[in-house]
Amino acid sequence: MGIGKPVKQVLILIAGVILLLVGIALLVLPGPGLLLVLAGLLVLASEFPAVEKYVDPIRDRAMKAAEDSVSSPLRIAGSVLAGLCLLAAGVVWGLVPGLPLAGWSTGSSLILSGLILFALLIWSYKRVQAKRAANAE
């Protein structure tokens, strides 16, 4: 027994809006903002075709940002340093009770942001290397 179409649309709307809002927040906070905005738009576009016109421009910007993040060794080193700082800050926020918003809820979100940064950095690097190899042939 499946769920009805209106219920499915509401669930997709909620998931898409949450991804979109978190992505917008991560545009100014540490994290993969453009990629989450893109994910939110893709989720929304799956059920609401009017949203599709926004997907391609955001996809282009997100992919360009991903490629730019690994365009030089200095940028890669900066990203790795930022990821390590996020991991360290997460541990500190989890262990030091006197900090604002101290606790493992804040600490784990910082650690998760660092791990996501590393995963996206590796993905971007592999993508750029594959693109360079294809252009070299």
Q: Can you give the pLDDT at residue 31?
A: 61
Asked if 64 and 82 sit in the same domain, the reply is no
Asked if 61 and 99 sit in the same domain, the reply is no
Instruction: Among 19, 43, 71, identify where a domain stops.
Output: 71
Asked if 60 and 3 sit in the same domain, the reply is yes
Asked if 60 and 118 sit in the same domain, the reply is no
Looking at residues 72-80, what average pLDDT do you find? 85
Average pLDDT score, the chain? 84
Asked if 59 and 113 sit in the same domain, the reply is no
Asked if 58 and 84 sit in the same domain, the reply is no
> 42, exposed or middle or buried, with CB in 10 Å at 0-12, 13-18, 19+?
middle
Residue-number span of the structural domain to which 83 is assigned:
73-136
Return d(Cα 123, Cα 84) in angstroms, integer: 17
Q: Compute CA distances 114 → 30, 59, 69, whole Å.
A: 8, 22, 15
Rounding to the nearest 10 degrees, give the CA dihedral for residues 18, 20, 24, 27.
110
User: What is the band of 8 on the pLDDT scale with cuts at 50, 70, 90?
Assistant: confident
Spacing of C-alpha 52 from chain mean position: 20
Looking at residues 43-62, what average pLDDT do you find? 88
Return d(Cα 52, Cα 13) in angstroms, integer: 14
Q: Can you give the pLDDT at residue 134?
A: 85
User: What is the band of 11 on the pLDDT scale with cuts at 50, 70, 90?
Assistant: confident
Instruction: Among 48, 71, 94, identify where a domain stops.
Output: 71
* Portion of the chain with pLDDT greater than 90, in percent: 12
Asked if 66 and 87 sit in the same domain, the reply is no
pLDDT (tens digit per residue) in 124-136:
888 888 888 888 7
Asked if 29 and 81 sit in the same domain, the reply is no
Asked if 25 and 91 sit in the same domain, the reply is no
